[in-house]
Structure 1
Amino acid sequence: MKLGKRISELRERKQITQGELAQIIGVTRAALSHYENDRRQPDYDTLMKIAKFFSVSVEYVIEGNENSTQIQG
C-alpha cells in the first residue's frame, strides 16, 4: 500500500474530513489531497504531525510497517 492510501485510511478510521486533518497538521486541503493521491510527498515535519495525530509511527506512515499499526487510545 502506498503512503497516500495509508494516510487516507487513517483519516477515514477517525471519521474526519480532509479539511479537518489539513487544519490539524497545518497544510491546505489541496496539499493533503495531493498526499493522499500520491501526487506529492509530505515533508518530514508533516509526516511527524500525521503520525502523532493518529498515534502511529512515522515508519508506519511511510512504509506500512505492520508492527506500528496499533492506534493507541
Structure 2
Amino acid sequence: MLHIGNAIAELRESREITQEDLAKTLGIARSTLSHYEKNRRKPPLDIIVLLANTFNITVEQIINFHKREI
C-alpha cells in the first residue's frame, strides 16, 4: 500500500521542486511537508486540494497515485 506521502514526494521530485518551494506554495512549513512525505502525518483535505491544483491533477489522482494514473 502506497501512502499519500510517497505520492507527494514522487510528484514533487518528478517536477524538480524543492521541499522549501512546495511548502511556500502551500503556505506551510517545510518541516510539515517533510512529515507528510514521510507519512508521519496525514495532510488535511485543503492541503491535498492545493497539491492537486499545484500539480495540475485531480485529488483522485493523488489518492490513487499508486495506480500510476497521472
- TM-score, normalised relative to structure 2: 0.88
Letter in 2 for 1:43: P
1:55: which partner in 2? 56
Give the aligned partner of residue 2 of structure 1.
3
SS in 1 for 2:52: helix
CA shift for structure 1 position 66:
3.6
Q: Gaps (5+ residues) in structure 1?
A: none
The 2-side partners of 1:37 and 1:66 are apart by: 20
**RMSD of aligned alpha carbons:** 1.2
Residue of structure 2 in register with 1:12 after alignment: 13
Q: For the residues of structure 2 that align with 1:62 and 1:34, how far apart are their CA atoms?
A: 17
The CA deviation at 1:26 is 0.8
Q: What is the CA distance between 1:63 and its match in structure 2?
A: 2.8
Greater relative contact order structure (CA < 8 Å, 6+ sep): 2
Question: Is 1:33–2:34 an aligned residue pair?
Answer: yes
Tell me the alpha carbon deviations over residues 35-68 of structure 1, each in whole angstroms, 9 at most, x when there is no partner.
000000111111000011001111121232543x
- Once residues 42 and 64 of structure 2 are traced to their aligned partners in structure 1, the CA distance between those partners, rounded to angstroms, is 13
Secondary structure (helix, strand or coil) at the match of 1:16 reads: coil
